[in-house]
Amino acid sequence: MIQNLFGYPITILTNLMMVEPIYKQTFRPKRKKKRIQKKCKKKYTKFIGYKPWEKIFFTGDAVIGHPDIIRKMKESLKREAESYERKWR
């Protein structure tokens, strides 16, 4: 459990739906006309997968984010706490 500056516990909420889709255009036309580019973008764009949002939302007593990003945040907080303790020994 993480605590804020006042010593109160902060609840951590994870949400798997905090992702954004990744698309890739598989074909690029040789002609540079806008009309042709628009057609090819619409027709030859392929769905690749999802990537987690890099955003973390802070509310009064909760932190909301994707599980991967929350895990990274916890690891960085541990490293910071360890380096802080080493610094003041």
Q: pLDDT of 37-52, one tens digit each?
A: 898 889 999 999 999 9
Tokens 């939302």, residue? 57
Mean pLDDT for all residues in the chain: 87
- Residue 26 vs residues 21, 44, 45, 46: alpha-carbon distances, Å: 16, 6, 6, 7
- Tracing tokens 């802080």 back to the chain, one arrives at 84
Is 80 exceeded by the pLDDT of residue 3?
A: no
Distance CA 34, CA 31 (A): 9
Which residue did the predictor score with more confidence, 63 or 60? 63
Whole-number Å distance between alpha carbons of 5 and 82: 17
Q: Region of 16 please: left (phi>0), alpha (psi -120 to 50) or beta.
A: alpha
Instruction: Check whether 24 has a pLDDT greater than 90.
Output: yes
